[in-house]
């Protein structure tokens, strides 16, 4: 082996080793984040955190009960807005529409998906906050719901389309109407993928902060009903983290741990459902 | 029938008795394979295959789909090592040296390969051919090497004014000749071709066959083909494989006119495969 | 938007609706159409709610660096500058790391390890912006102040990029945090694209006596280059629209300066910080116009990215045909 070849082989091993380092570093970021959250927030997760309201500025202690409930309400209402539009819209694209309408709707969904979340926030502000002259849970849910639409729409369409033709034809050959076929055969066949998509969409908006800044805004107390501003986990984390109070930093870490834990769990569950196999094998 | 490890010595491989055409025994062997057994994981693909690739001749490997001929070809430049479950037993020699004992990068420069579907790099025609010489640090002006290789591949006249165009602008047949030129540019001692014309139209196929017969003056050739007529047309020696075993190996005229094994006869008369 | 044809009267429409299918078609159409409606409304709102500054400043809005609410003077330059600089820093850090990792996952790692690592990368992509901001503000900012700034300032402080004091927050900090956020996008897409490169490209390179690195870097990666570019555009689009993480670490000062250690501002950050406090129509609408600018930037980038990725994955199957 001559010197040149020896050098080339050295370079090869070195560079390939470097790519391994890059992979390790990239994956390491995830564990770094988890590590910091666990270390700094782990000790602050206690009963108080889940049950108490925030204490007034400057006082230590208290919790984020209202934020947790607020986030739950927001996500529930957002799903009620975003999921039906995405789901039924997806059914339309997959089962009924012509190709031109389909490409228009798909393009609109992709466009909507690419809109920065802060822009969605100011949009929701003009549509839901301004007319009623106050911030509200509904406004926040509206903003988050819009963000759920593109993911739900595209995934529903994709998974419905992947249901094999012979399943549909089998049903129609028995005399079932198109809608009957869709509702009792096609959708159930694709339910795993659609459910996964909904979960992933939920996980995505659960962590969104920017759209809530001008819609749900925030609240240091309980928010009753749906027309009052409400606290939410992401916004609390934001406010507490940039504050000058050590105690609030501690609580921000705890909230971050809870939020990220929730999101990661949803993600892992969703991906496991998908990995277990789509109910109908793709052709 | 054992393969002698000494370089340049004639090796008596085939057990087929009197043969027409050239005698394999009298020729020097560029490469020899001895008792090759090949596995993907636990599944065995090749069973005790031994043969010799004669220097400056064309050796064809034929057989029905799945018989292992491509697998055998790919062991000759250790290309099987790109698959992690592949396992090779037995000895393969290039010029008397065990190919497993030398550096694989160096080996592959000496034993070139042309693939079934033309696969030029996403570069210009010139850069495709220049790639090999460049990375191997060839001395001398690259442009001359490129021209020589393209001439040897019977492609120069068609592309000499378009060297800097993308290789993908060429037709399928031209792309394959480009791949041959690319392989020739590193001056290999052996050129392996895995069904090089199977993706091409008849005219391009004919051009490539013509080319291969010429090329054996430059380099030793081993070709896998599922087209028996092609093997009969261009090769000096033919090996017939069936389900991983070497059934018969003789000079081409002999194998196609008076095959020794009944299975060979069944294959070449089209009774299966 | 009706399900019935144009020439059919209302009575026929009603009778057709009686069959479940036509009704279902109409209902699902309405849902699908609402997606288009919402999208159109978003763009329309951005346009109509920015009419005042568009008329008052015209295109000067994009090049003015004065942001003075009290004097009713608004210019987008500091925010565009901040958005672009932080994104550029992010890409400079994330692209080499991301492509390197993608190469490892696609070319080197055995399939199981590759899939496992990709799973973790997907989880990383799911981490919300505010968590990165939390980490950024409470960990990276102090790190910048105590370690990164002293080191860089001492060694490279002669360059305008690395001059000046550091308060921990600033363009570089935001760039670092953004880099962490966009790496998963680069890795996921690049890995897909690299895996789609036909095997025999790599084998042809090896057959010419290339080392593994040479075959990867000089043949496989160039083959996939358009798709990799697409992944970079996608990452850039994500970085541009990023709000929370940047807001928490950029320093919130509308300035156009060369030093990476200086505090700055981004479009998304200024909207987040000042929208609820903006008084006066011109102020609010200027923020809307900034939103419009941001929307256009991400719109163009996303479009380009999609185009590039489609071109590459199609190329993988279409090349080398006889």
Please report, for the domain that includes residue B73, its CATH number.
3.40.50.300
Query: What would you measure as the largest C-alpha separation in chain A, in angstroms?
Result: 80
Q: Domain ranges in chain C?
A: 10-48, 77-318
Domain total in chain A: 2
pLDDT digits (tens, 9 = 90+) for C194-230: 999 999 999 999 999 999 999 999 999 999 998 899 8
User: Per-residue pLDDT for B2 more than 90?
Assistant: no
CA distances from A137 to A84, A129, A230, C112 (A): 19, 10, 6, 44
Using DSSP, state whether B124 is helix, strand or coil: strand
- C223 vs B136: CB contact, 8 Å cut-off? no
Per-residue pLDDT at B139: 84
Percent helix, strand and coil across chain C, each to the nearest 5: 75, 0, 20
Q: Are residues A223 and A251 in the same domain?
A: yes
Say what the pLDDT of residue B16 is.
29
Inside any domain, residue A281: no
Q: Is the pLDDT of residue B15 over 50?
A: no
**Residues B240-261: what's their mean pLDDT?**
93
Say yes or no for a CB contact (<8 Å) between B105 and A4.
no
- pLDDT for A168 beyond 60: yes
Res. A225: pLDDT tops 80: yes
A214 contacts in chain C (CB < 8 Å): 275-276
pLDDT value of position C213: 95
Q: What is the pLDDT of residues C292-318, one digit of tens each?
A: 999 999 999 888 888 887 777 666 544
Q: Is the pLDDT of residue C5 over 50?
A: no
Residue B25 predicted with pLDDT over 70:
yes
Residue B14 has pLDDT above 70, yes or no: no
Instruction: Tell whether the model's pLDDT for residue B213 goes beyond 80.
Output: yes
Model confidence at B140: pLDDT above 90: no
Predicted local distance difference test score (pLDDT) of residue C295: 93
pLDDT in tens, A2-21: 889 999 999 999 999 999 99
Cα separation, B29 vs B96, in Å, equals 9
pLDDT of residue B33: 95
**Chain B positions touching chain C (beta carbons under 8 Å):** 77, 79, 82, 84, 105-106, 108-110, 112-113, 115-123, 131-132, 135-136, 168, 171-173, 175, 179, 182-183, 186, 199-201, 204
Same domain, A52 and A147: yes
SS3 labels along A192-233? HHHHHHHHHHHHHHHCCCHHHHCCCCCCCCCCCCCCCCCCCH
How close does chain A come to B103, measured CA to CA in Å? 8
Mutate to test the interface with C, among B111, B115, B136 (most CBs of C within 10 A): B115
| Token representation of residue C129 | 């912006």
A12 and C214 within 8 Å at the Cβ level: the answer is: yes
Is the pLDDT at C2 greater than 50, yes or no?
no
Q: Across residues A116-140, what is the average pLDDT?
A: 93
Question: Which residue from C minimizes the CA distance to B116?
Answer: C200
Q: Can you tell me the mean pLDDT for A63-91?
A: 93
Helix C267-274 vs helix C281-318: crossing angle, to nearest 10: 140
- Tell me which of C1, C35, C249, C299 to substitute to probe the interface with A (most A C-beta atoms closer than 10 Å): C35
Indicate if the pLDDT at residue C79 is higher than 70: yes
Task: Check residue C313 and give its pLDDT.
Answer: 67
The average pLDDT across C80-88 equals: 93
pLDDT at A281 over 90: no
Interface pTM, i.e. ipTM: 0.88
Name all chains with 3 or more CB-CB pairs below 8 Å to chain B.
A, C
The mean pLDDT of chain B is 88
The verdict on residue A166 lying in a domain is yes
**Shortest distance, CA A164 to any CA of chain C (angstroms):** 20
> Residue A58: its pLDDT value, please?
75
Q: What is the mean pLDDT of residues A257-279?
A: 85
Give the pLDDT band (50/70/90) at residue C14.
low
Residues A37 and A109 grouped into a single domain = no
- Rounded to two decimals, the pTM is 0.86
Instruction: Convert the pLDDT of each residue in B192-212 to its tens digit.
Output: 999 999 989 999 999 999 999
Burial class (CB in 10 A: 0-12, 13-18, 19+), A42: exposed
pLDDT tens for each residue of C167-181? 889 999 999 999 999
Residue B40 lies in a domain: yes
Q: Which residues of A touch B106 (CB under 8 A)?
A: 1, 5
Kindly tell me if the per-residue pLDDT of B3 is higher than 70: no
A-B contacts at Cβ under 8 angstroms: 10
Q: Which of A162-166, B90-94, B128-132, B204-208 has the lowest mean pLDDT?
A: A162-166
Q: HSE on the CB side for C294, CA within 13 Å?
A: 35
Asked whether the beta carbons of residue B199 and residue C322 sit closer than 8 angstroms, the reply is: yes
- A167 sits in which H/E element: helix A165-173
Q: Do C104 and A20 touch (CB under 8 A)?
A: yes
What total number of domains does chain B contain?
A: 1
Half-sphere exposure of C321 (CA within 13 A, CB side): 6
Distance (Å) from the alpha carbon of B77 to chain A's nearest alpha carbon: 17
Query: C210 and B175: CB-CB below 8 Å?
Result: no
What CATH number does residue A167 fall under? 1.10.3720.10
Which residues in chain A are contacts of B137 at CB distance < 8 A? Answer: 4
Shared domain check, A55 and A13: no
Give yes or no: residues A11 and A131 share one domain: no
Contact C32 A105 (CB under 8 A): yes
**Interface chains of chain C (3 or more CB pairs under 8 Å):** A, B
- Flag if B82 and C110 touch (Cβ within 8 Å): no
DSSP structural state of residue C177: H
Q: Which pLDDT value is given to residue A98?
A: 85
Are C139 and A210 in contact (CB < 8 Å)? Answer: no
Which structural domain range is residue B206 located in? 24-119+189-268
Q: Which residue of B has its CA nearest to C210?
A: B105
Helix (H, G, I), strand (E, B) or coil at C224: coil
Rg (CA), chain C: 25
Query: How many Å apart are CA C163 and CA C156, to the nearest integer?
Result: 8
Residue C286 has pLDDT above 60, yes or no: yes
Confirm whether B159 is domain-assigned: no
Residues C92-126 pLDDT 10s: 999 999 999 999 999 999 989 999 999 999 999 99
- For A138, phi then psi, to 5°, come to -60, -45
Please say if the pLDDT value at position C88 is more than 80. Answer: yes
Q: Are residues A270 and A192 in the same domain?
A: yes
From B82, B132, B172, residue closest to C208, measured CB to CB: B132
- B11: pLDDT confidence band, cut at 50, 70 and 90? very low
The mean pLDDT of chain A is 90
Nearest chain A CA: its distance from B105 CA (Å): 8
pLDDT value at B9 more than 50 = no
Residue B124 lies in a domain: no
Is A249 part of any domain? yes
Distance CA(A254)–CA(A236), nearest Å, equals 11
Tell me: the pLDDT tens digits for C42-65? Answer: 999 999 999 998 898 888 888 888
Taking CB atoms and an 8 Å limit, are B103 and A5 in contact across chains?
yes
Assess if residue A283 is contained within a domain.
Answer: no
Contact B105 A5 (CB under 8 A): yes
The band of B19, judged by pLDDT with boundaries at 50, 70 and 90, is very low
Show Cβ contacts of residue B235 under 8 Å, excluding neighbours closer than 6 positions. B58, B59, B60, B223, B252
Are residues A104 and C36, on separate chains, in Cβ contact within 8 Å? yes
Instruction: Specify if A120 maps to a domain.
Output: yes
pLDDT, tens digit, 9 for 90 and up, residues C150-166: 888 888 888 888 888 88
- pLDDT at residue C13, rounded to an integer: 64
pLDDT of residue C160: 85
Do A147 and A209 belong to one domain?
A: yes
Residues above pLDDT 90, as percent of chain A = 60
CA A168 – CA A164 distance, rounded (Å): 7
Contact C321 B172 (CB under 8 A): yes
**Cβ contact A1–B135 (<8 Å):** no
B148-167 mean pLDDT: 94
Region B11-28 average pLDDT = 51
Distance CA A185, CA A180 (A): 8
Domain that holds residue A210: 47-275
The CATH class, in words, for C77-318 is: mainly alpha
Q: Quote the pLDDT of residue B4.
A: 38
Give residue B1's pLDDT. 37
Please state the rounded mean pLDDT for residues B104-125.
95
Report chain C residues whose CB lies below 8 A from the CB of B168: 319-320
8 A C-beta contact, residue B62 and residue B226: yes
The mean predicted confidence, pLDDT, of chain C is 88
Q: Which residues of A touch B103 (CB under 8 A)?
A: 1, 5, 9
């Amino acid at each position: 082996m001559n010197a040149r070849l020896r050098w080339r082989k050295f370079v090869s091993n070195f560079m390939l080793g470097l790519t391994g380092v890059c992979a390790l570093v990239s994956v390491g970021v995830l564990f770094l984040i988890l590590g910091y959250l666990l270390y700094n927030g782990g000790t602050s997760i206690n009963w108080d955190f889940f049950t108490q309201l925030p204490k007034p500025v400057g006082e230590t202690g208290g919790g984020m009960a209202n934020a947790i409930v607020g986030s739950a309400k927001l996500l529930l209402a957002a799903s009620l807005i975003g999921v039906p539009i995405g789901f039924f819209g997806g059914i339309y694209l997959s089962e009924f529409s012509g190709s031109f309408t389909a490409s228009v709707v798909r393009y609109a969904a992709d466009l909507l998906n690419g809109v920065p979340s802060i822009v969605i926030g100011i949009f929701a502000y003009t549509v839901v906050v301004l007319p009623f002259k106050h911030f509200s849970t509904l406004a926040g849910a509206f903003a988050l719901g819009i963000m759920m639409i593109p993911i739900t729409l595209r995934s529903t369409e994709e998974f419905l389309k992947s249901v094999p033709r012979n399943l549909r034809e089998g049903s129609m050959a028995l005399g079932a109407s198109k809608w009957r076929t869709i509702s009792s055969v096609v959708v159930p066949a694709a339910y795993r993928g659609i459910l996964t998509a909904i979960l992933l969409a939920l996980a995505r908006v659960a962590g969104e902060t920017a759209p809530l800044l001008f819609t749900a805004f925030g609240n240091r107390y309980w928010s009753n009903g749906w027309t009052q501003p409400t606290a939410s986990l992401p916004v609390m984390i934001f406010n507490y983290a940039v504050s000058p109070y050590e105690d609030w930093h501690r609580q921000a870490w705890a909230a971050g741990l809870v939020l990220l834990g929730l999101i990661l769990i949803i993600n892992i569950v969703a991906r496991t459902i998908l990995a277990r196999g789509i109910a109908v094998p793709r052709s | 029938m054992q393969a002698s490890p000494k370089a340049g010595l004639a090796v008596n491989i085939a057990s087929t008795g009197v043969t027409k055409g050239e005698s394999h025994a009298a020729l020097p062997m560029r490469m020899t394979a001895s008792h090759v057994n090949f596995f993907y994981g636990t599944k065995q693909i090749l069973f005790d295959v031994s043969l010799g690739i004669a220097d400056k001749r064309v050796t064809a490997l034929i057989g029905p789909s799945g018989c292992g001929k491509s697998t055998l070809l790919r062991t000759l430049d250790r290309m099987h090592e790109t698959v992690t479950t592949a396992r090779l037993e037995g000895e393969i020699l290039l010029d008397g040296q065990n190919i497993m004992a030398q550096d694989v990068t160096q080996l592959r420069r000496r034993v070139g390969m042309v693939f079934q579907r033309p696969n030029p790099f996403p570069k210009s025609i010139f850069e495709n051919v220049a790639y090999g010489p460049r990375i191997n640090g060839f001395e001398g002006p690259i442009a001359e090497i490129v021209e020589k290789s393209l001439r040897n591949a019977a492609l120069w006249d068609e592309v000499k004014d378009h060297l800097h165009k993308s290789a993908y602008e060429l037709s399928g047949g031209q792309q394959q000749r480009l791949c041959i030129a690319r392989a020739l540019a590193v001056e290999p001692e052996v050129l392996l071709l895995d069904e090089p014309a199977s993706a091409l139209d008849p005219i391009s196929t004919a051009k490539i066959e013509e080319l291969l017969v010429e090329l054996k003056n430059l380099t030793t050739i081993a070709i896998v083909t599922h087209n028996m007529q092609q093997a009969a047309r261009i090769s000096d020696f033919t090996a017939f494989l069936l389900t991983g075993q070497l059934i018969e190996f003789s000079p081409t005229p002999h194998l196609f006119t008076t095959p020794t094994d009944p299975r060979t006869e069944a294959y070449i008369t089209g009774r299966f495969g | 938007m009706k399900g019935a044809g144009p020439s059919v009267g209302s009575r026929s429409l009603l009778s057709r609706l009686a069959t479940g299918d036509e009704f279902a078609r109409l209902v699902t159409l309405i849902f699908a159409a609402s997606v288009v409606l919402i999208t159109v409304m978003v763009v329309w709102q951005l346009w109509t709610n920015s009419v005042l500054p568009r008329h008052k400043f015209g295109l000067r809005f994009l090049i003015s660096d004065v942001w003075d609410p009290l004097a009713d003077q608004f210019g987008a330059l500091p925010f565009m500058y901040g958005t672009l600089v932080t994104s550029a820093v992010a890409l400079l850090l994330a692209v080499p790391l991301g492509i390197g990792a993608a190469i490892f996952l696609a070319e080197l790692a055995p399939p199981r390890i590759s899939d496992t690592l990709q799973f973790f990368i997907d989880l990383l992509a799911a981490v919300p912006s505010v968590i990165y901001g939390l980490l950024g503000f409470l960990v990276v900012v102090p790190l910048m102040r105590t370690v990164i700034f002293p080191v860089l300032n001492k060694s490279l402080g002669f360059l305008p990029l690395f001059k000046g004091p550091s308060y921990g927050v600033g363009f570089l900090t935001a760039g670092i945090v953004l880099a962490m956020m966009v790496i998963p996008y680069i890795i996921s897409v690049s890995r897909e694209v690299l895996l789609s490169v036909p095997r025999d490209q790599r084998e042809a390179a090896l057959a010419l006596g290339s080392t593994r690195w040479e075959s990867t870097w000089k043949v496989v990666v160039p083959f996939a280059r358009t798709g990799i570019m697409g992944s970079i555009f996608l990452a850039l689009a994500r970085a541009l629209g990023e709000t929370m993480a940047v807001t928490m670490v950029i320093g919130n000062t509308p300035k156009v300066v060369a030093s990476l250690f200086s505090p700055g501002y981004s479009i998304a950050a200024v909207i987040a910080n000042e929208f609820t406090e903006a008084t006066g129509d011109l102020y609010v609408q200027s923020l809307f116009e900034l939103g419009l600018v941001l929307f256009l930037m991400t719109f163009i980038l996303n479009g380009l990215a999609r185009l590039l990725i489609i071109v590459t994955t199609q190329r993988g199957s279409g090349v080398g045909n006889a």
